[in-house]
């Protein structure tokens, strides 16, 4: 098996929403279709347990995320689609990397620092309160995800850039200590990808409970769209499309001629109710077919399990021999 030209992980803590699709799933599926490039996509369920201690939620999310990617057209034969916990080599590598990673580097990680800051804001005496070793070591697990497959390009959101830089630092340290085993991964952040807002106007995020899940029923999808915040301009007044949440979502799904037309309608004055209906119809049209596929898949967990198991088998064709080499390089091998 070949190393990963492209690799990314999806944390399994919730139901995929429009933002996840536009920001992560759609560009990844597009890349997975590129000829001569091998993409690795995985469900980061060991990452999920850092933030989420609700087992039933993780089980549900794992199935939902996998079904979503497949329903939206991920080619699971061409790319490698697997579950992190099916690759035990990743955890072995995590420990090996832990032993060469300085604690100082981890002290600088954003997620850890954000928790310290929160404790400071909450005026806690113990600034390390509620901070687990899982959270602290998170960047090392992520480095292992990446380095295990000698991944080259890592498409991520801006908040994850620091982790890729840490993975590079860790790879350099290993290479300098034991020999050049790892190639240095690079973060790929697509500035053109829009950040969608949720129904309350904040960034659409499962942490804010403001999402529009991708595969809601038609009825529920309409209900959620009707809830999106608008201003109080009267129906016939001209409106600014550049600040409109409805328009931003519309733009992320419409064809260029439809977008142009909609801009004109904003300038002339479009009633919010009409715009909401237009957005609903567009989304419903785009999502109808994958929604049917998703609903079928979600009822066939065995089928999904098979796909993930096959993906893991292929991934391990790379990770098992590669970990063998790594172990040998650090002085761990069977004595004969
Ligand atoms: P959430 O904020 O719902 O927990 P995640 O942090 O799990 O989402 O994000 C998973 C991926 O989806 C990330 O790569 C991120 O780039 C993308 N993403 C999340 N929310 C949005 C959004 N509102 N708009 C665009 N992309 C998003
Ligand atoms: N930490 C990433 C996130 O929260 C998910 C992730 C885990 C990941 N391992 C990865 C992304 C490796 C890219 C590469 O979004």
Same domain, 260 and 152: no
Q: What's the whole-model pTM score?
A: 0.93
What per-residue confidence (pLDDT) applies to 158? Answer: 85
- What is the Rg, in whole angstroms, of the alpha carbon atoms belonging to the chain? 22
Q: Alpha-carbon dihedral of residues 139, 144, 147, 153, nearest 10 degrees?
A: -50
Same domain, 64 and 129: yes
Residues in the chain with pLDDT values less than 50: none
What per-residue confidence (pLDDT) applies to 191? Answer: 86
Tell me the pLDDT tens digit for each residue of 114-125: 999 999 999 999
Tell me the pLDDT tens digit for each residue of 36-77: 999 999 999 999 999 999 999 999 999 999 999 999 999 999
200 located within any domain: no
* Closest C-alpha to 197, from 317, 321, 331, 23: 23
Q: How far apart are alpha carbons 144 and 141 in whole angstroms? A: 5
Residue 130 in contact with ligand 1 by CB distance below 6 A: no
- Residue 262's CATH number: 1.10.240.10
210 located within any domain: no
Same domain, 28 and 104: yes
203 located within any domain: no
Q: Which domain holds residue 93?
A: 6-194+301-329
Q: How far apart are alpha carbons 336 and 321 in whole angstroms? A: 19
Q: How far apart are alpha carbons 79 and 37 in whole angstroms? A: 9
Cα-based angle 12, 17, 21 (whole degrees, multiple of 5): 90
Beta bridge partners of 213: 17
Q: How far apart are alpha carbons 293 and 72 in whole angstroms? A: 8
Å from CA of 139 to ligand 2 middle: 9
- Residue 179's CATH number: 3.40.50.620
What per-residue confidence (pLDDT) applies to 102? Answer: 98
What per-residue confidence (pLDDT) applies to 255? Answer: 95
User: Would you say the C-alpha torsion 217, 13, 184, 106 has a positive or negative sign?
Assistant: positive
What per-residue confidence (pLDDT) applies to 136? Answer: 97
What per-residue confidence (pLDDT) applies to 286? Answer: 96
What per-residue confidence (pLDDT) applies to 223? Answer: 97
103 located within any domain: yes
- Contact between 21 and 195 under an 8 Å Cβ cutoff? The reply is no
What per-residue confidence (pLDDT) applies to 192? Answer: 82
Same domain, 251 and 281: yes
Q: Give the nearest ligand 2 atom to 163 CA.
A: 1
**Nearest ligand, measured from the Cα of 45:** 2
80 located within any domain: yes
Q: For the chain, how many structural domains are there in total?
A: 2
Tell me the pLDDT tens digit for each residue of 107-160: 999 999 999 999 999 999 999 999 999 999 999 999 999 999 999 999 998 889
Same domain, 181 and 282: no
208 located within any domain: no
183 located within any domain: yes
- Contact between 39 and 79 under an 8 Å Cβ cutoff? The reply is yes
Same domain, 20 and 111: yes
Residues near ligand 2 with C-beta < 6 Å? 7-9, 11, 44, 47, 142, 145-146, 154, 156, 160
Same domain, 39 and 81: yes
What per-residue confidence (pLDDT) applies to 193? Answer: 83
209 located within any domain: no
Which residues have CB under 8 Å from 42's CB, separation 6+?
A: 7, 8, 9, 10, 81, 82, 83, 84, 87, 145, 311, 315
Same domain, 234 and 285: yes
Å from CA of 189 to ligand 2 middle: 13
Same domain, 290 and 306: no
Same domain, 154 and 240: no
Q: Give the nearest ligand 2 atom to 44 CA.
A: 7
Same domain, 25 and 163: yes
Same domain, 260 and 147: no
């Amino acid at each position: 098996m070949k190393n990963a030209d492209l690799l990314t992980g999806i944390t399994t803590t919730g139901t995929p929403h429009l933002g996840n699709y536009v920001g992560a799933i759609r560009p990844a599926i597009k890349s997975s279709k590129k000829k001569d490039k091998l993409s690795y996509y995985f469900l980061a369920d060991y990452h999920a347990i850092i933030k989420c201690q609700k087992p039933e939620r993780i089980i549900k999310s794992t199935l939902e995320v996998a079904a979503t990617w497949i329903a939206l057209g991920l080619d699971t034969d061409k790319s490698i689609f697997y579950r992190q916990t099916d690759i035990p080599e990743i955890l072995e590598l995590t420990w090996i990397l832990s032993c060469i990673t300085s604690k100082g580097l981890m002290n600088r990680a954003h997620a850890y620092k954000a928790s310290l800051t929160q404790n400071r804001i909450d005026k806690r005496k113990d600034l390390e309160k509620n901070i687990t070793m899982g959270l602290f070591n998170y960047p090392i697990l992520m480095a292992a995800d990446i380095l295990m497959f000698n991944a080259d390009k890592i498409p991520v959101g801006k908040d994850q850039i620091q982790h890729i830089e840490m993975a590079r630092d860790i790879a350099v340290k290993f290479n300098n200590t034991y020999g050049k085993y790892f190639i240095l991964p690079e973060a790929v952040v697509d500035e053109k990808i829009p950040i969608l807002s949720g129904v309350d106007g904040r960034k659409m995020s499962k942490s804010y409970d403001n999402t529009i899940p991708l595969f809601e029923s038609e009825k529920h999808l309409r209900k959620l769209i009707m809830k999106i915040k608008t201003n109080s301009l009267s129906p016939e007044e001209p409106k600014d499309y550049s600040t409109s949440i409805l328009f931003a979502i519309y733009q992320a799904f419409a064809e260029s001629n439809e977008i142009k037309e909609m801009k004109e309608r904003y300038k002339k004055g479009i009633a919010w109710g009409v715009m909401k209906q237009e957005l609903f119809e567009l989304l419903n049209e785009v999502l109808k077919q994958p929604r049917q596929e998703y609903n079928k898949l979600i009822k066939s967990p065995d089928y999904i399990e098979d796909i993930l198991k096959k993906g893991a088998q292929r991934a391990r064709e790379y990770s098992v021999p590669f970990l063998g080499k790594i172990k040998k390089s650090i002085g761990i091998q069977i004595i004969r």
